[in-house]
Amino acid sequence: MRKVALVAGGLSTWGIRPATWGELLQEAGQELFANARNLDAKDVDSLFVGAAQPERLAFQSHVAPMAAELLGVRPSRFVRRVELACASGQTAIQDAYVAIASGLSDVALAVGVEKMNLPSMAEATTSMANVLDRAWDGVHGGTAPPFFAMVAQRHMMEYGTTAEQMATVSVKNHRFANSNPKAQFYAKTFAKEKLLTGPMVSPPLRIGDCSSMTDGAGAVLLVGEELASKYTDTPAWVAATSQYTDFHNLANMASLTEWTGLRRAAQDLYARGRTDAAHIPLAEVHDCFTISEIVEYEDLGFCPKGAGGKFAAEGQSDLGGSVVVNPRGGLLGCGHPLGATGIGQAVEVLGQFQSTVPAARLVKGASQALTHNLSGSANVHTLTLYRRES
Amino acid sequence: MSAPSKPYLLDFYPLEDEKQTRIAPFFAHLRAGRLTTTKCEADSSVHWPPRVTCPLCHGNRLVWVDLPKEGKLYAFSALVLGLPMGMEGDAGAVVGMVELGNSGVRIFSRIRGRKYEDLRVGDPVEFETYDTGDGRVFYRFVSKL
């Protein structure tokens, strides 16, 4: 297969934005065109739009041609929306990768966008309850917070993980977000003591354990090997990608605390990329909740099963640790505009490789990095491995 | 059955009658106080939620079987902030995974009758049905403590 390079990225500012879905996307597109050297809109032959719930959150369907018009591109090979709930953005990148690697596309845009802050918060959260099996799980009030709260309860019970260890994850990611002007929680401080006494969302998860409802967009440009040098001197090469799912209804989840799908997807990623967990210096993972990041350390193989809380508390996932996790600020610090999150992670990896991110979060010399998104009830895991050298 | 009180697409409960679903017997059983699901006669697999084809052998020799009405809490939490539309009045409601007897089936449900703070993993719960307010019926579990 042809090698694929991620050569440029752009983001809107993320947060509670006085802007529509389409306006956020225009902002991200503008930054991408500014960042991509020599990019002419006519070069773009394909567009993949990661958007989780535009029908519910913006009352808009058939969003891909609308996005093309807003971005000023006229795709001639592929144009489509990609939906995989919280992993929609990374899945759009995966589709662009597949299209270019196969030779059917040469220059593809993968974008992601979500407008989540509506006049009615209840209306927005309703659109979260249909991510689970709506008629059997969502119907009881099954949204993300109570689900991940049960994961936390069992992890605490089975492995002795503590609320304080979970708060360590939140403090780290919010601190990283302070170096990221695009983050929802840029220039806001979060003391551990305050997080441990904040309002409860779904016990044992407090507000500081939860990522936010966020408005935001992102865009990345992927190209075939021979075109990379036209657009940048330092691309992020896609070394491998993987995805795995093994259930949907909560009744069919084998274990709340061991995410078998993530273990399998990670195994596939490392095998295809000819590497292993010990050689990943930088990871952008799906910290939709603090407990998620802890389980992910374990099932990505960064630490033994059950040791994720200790791993965080010891600073092993912070600068100077064995793997720097979520230096852009993660979902906790940047917010989580569902379709845009995976794009934001890729933009961070490129910025890290190009050393354009601030020193406060730069992982010096990182030769490779992985991005991870879970979606739904951690029942799908999507992974990409990037390398600085092809 | 009367029409749902809200547009279908903003309504969480399944459409239960035989004009809308092939598992209408599940809801008829609920009305009779039974918690049932489908079992494949060919490979003996038990499904949740009920199916019209077997996901294991892809056959359709499915029969209705009763699930245990008593179970134990495997995990639970409560809906404190961020409740969806139509549930705004349910703040504090408990939800959890219930292990149904020795059936090997563990399902997610609303848990009634006891506050989050007063429950522990392993506590006994029992199946009950309730009227959704528009002529439909659904299930939940109630604390036996």
A47-76 tens-digit pLDDT = 999 999 999 999 999 999 999 999 999 999
Nearest to B79 among A134, A202, A204 (CB): A202
* Inter-chain CB proximity B108 and A251 less than 8 Å: yes
Choose the closest CB to A251 out of B76, B107, B121. Answer: B107
- Mean pLDDT score across all residues of chain A: 97
Summarize the confidence of residues A179-186 as an average pLDDT.
97
Closest Cα in chain A to B80: A201
| Residue in B6, B8, B10, B12 to test binding to A, most A beta-carbons within 10 Å | B12
Residue B9 pLDDT:
58
DSSP strands (E only) in chain A? 4-11, 46-50, 78-82, 107-114, 200-202, 205-206, 216-224, 236-245, 282-284, 324-325, 368-375, 380-387
Q: Is B81 on the interface with A (CB under 8 A)?
A: yes
pLDDT of residue A129: 83
A-to-B residue pairs, Cβ atoms closer than 8 angstroms? 111
Confidence of residue A13 (pLDDT cuts 50, 70, 90): very high
Residue of chain B minimizing CA distance to A140: B110
Around Cβ B41, how many Cβ atoms within 10 Å? Answer: 13
CB < 8 Å to B96, chain A: 150
The pLDDT > 70 percentage for chain B reads 93
User: Residue A248 is encoded by which pair of tokens?
Assistant: 């949907």
Residues of chain A in contact with residue B121, where contact means CB-CB under 8 angstroms, are 153-154, 157
**Which residue out of A55, A127, A136, A140 would a mutagenesis test of the B interface target, given it has the greatest number of B Cβ atoms within 10 Å?**
A140
Question: Is some CB atom of chain A closer than 8 A to the CB atom of B95?
Answer: yes
Active site residue A86: yes
pLDDT single digits (tens) A183-195: 999 988 889 999 9
Least confident of A23-37, A109-123, A277-291: A109-123
Q: Enumerate the residues of chain A whose CB falls inside 8 A of the CB of residue B88.
A: 122
The average pLDDT across B53-74 equals 98
Share of residues in chain A with pLDDT > 70 (%): 100
- By CB atoms closer than 10 A (0-12, 13-18, 19+), residue A274 is exposed
Confidence of residue B88 (pLDDT cuts 50, 70, 90): confident
Class of domain B68-145: mainly beta
Check CB contact under 8 Å for B77 and A140: no
Across the interface, which of A121, A126, A139 has its CB nearest the CB of B10?
A126
Q: Which two tokens stand for residue A202?
A: 């779904």
Work out the average pLDDT over A338-357: 98
Mean pLDDT of A99-110: 98
Residue pair A267/A278 in contact (Cβ under 8 Å)? The answer is no
The ipTM estimated for the assembled molecules is: 0.95
Biggest distance spanned by C-alpha atoms of chain A: 56
The minimal CB distance from A250 to the residues B14, B108, B116 is found for B108
Give the residues across from B71 on adjacent strands: B100, B125
- Per-residue pLDDT tens over the stretch B96-133: 999 999 999 999 999 999 999 999 999 999 999 999 98
In this prediction, residues A151-177 reach a mean pLDDT of 98
| Confidence (pLDDT) at B18 | 95
Interface contact flag, A202 B106, Cβ < 8 Å = no
- Span A365-373, mean pLDDT? 97
pLDDT at A127: 82
In this predicted structure, the answer to whether residue A365 has a pLDDT above a threshold of 80 is yes
pLDDT in tens, A249-298: 999 999 999 999 999 999 999 999 999 999 999 999 999 999 999 999 99
Residue A75's pLDDT is 98
DSSP codes, A278-309: GG--EEE---SBHHHHHHHHHHTTSS-TT-HH
Kindly tell me if the per-residue pLDDT of B1 is higher than 60.
Answer: no
Contact residues on chain A for B108, CB-CB shorter than 8 A:
136-137, 140, 142, 250-251
Catalytic pick among A174, A336, A372, A381: A336
For residue B47, give how far its alpha carbon lies from the nearest alpha carbon of chain A (Å).
Answer: 9
Nearest to A226, CA basis, from A77, A39, A390, A33: A390
In this prediction, residue A134 has a pLDDT band, given cuts at 50, 70 and 90, of very high
Q: Is B104 buried (19+), middle (13-18) or exposed (0-12) by CB count in 10 A?
A: exposed
CB-based contact A361:A179 (threshold 8 Å): yes
To the nearest whole angstrom, how far is the Cα of A88 from the nearest Cα of chain B? 22
**Rounded CA separation A280/A171 (Å):** 22
Q: Which residues of chain B are within 8 Å of residue A125 when distances are taken between CB atoms? A: 82-85
- So what's the pLDDT on residue A345? 99
pLDDT digits (tens, 9 = 90+) for A201-229: 999 999 999 999 999 999 999 999 999 99
Q: What does the pLDDT read at residue B86?
A: 84
CB contact under 8 A, A139 and B106: no
Q: Do A135 and B77 touch (CB under 8 A)?
A: no
Give pLDDT, residue B10: 66
Of A128-132, B17-21, B34-38, least confident by mean pLDDT is A128-132
What are A300-337's pLDDT values in tens digits? 999 999 999 999 999 999 999 999 999 999 999 999 99
What residue segments make up the domains of chain B, in order of their start? 19-66, 68-145
Q: pLDDT category, A120, cuts 50, 70, 90? A: confident
The pLDDT score that the predictor gives to residue B8 is 60
Report the length, in residues, of chain B: 145
Query: Would you say how long chain A is, in residues?
Result: 390
pLDDT at A107: 98
What CA–CA distance (Å, rounded) separates A11 from A89?
13
SS (H, E, C) A104-136: CCCEEEEEEEECCCCCCHHHHHHHHHCCCCCCC
The answer to whether B51 faces chain A, any CB pair under 8 Å, is no
Q: Which domains does chain A have, with CATH numbers?
A: 4-119+214-236 (3.40.47.10), 132-212+240-324+344-387 (3.40.47.10)
CA A270, CA A242: separation in Å to the nearest integer?
9
Interface probe with B: pick from A123, A132, A139, most Cβ of B within 10 Å = A139
Check whether B3 has a pLDDT greater than 70.
Answer: no
User: In A, what residues contact B, Cβ < 8 A?
Assistant: 120-123, 125-126, 128-129, 133-143, 145-146, 149-151, 153-154, 157, 199-205, 207, 249-252, 256
The tokens 């008593």 sit on which residue? B70
Whether A336 is a known active-site residue: answer yes
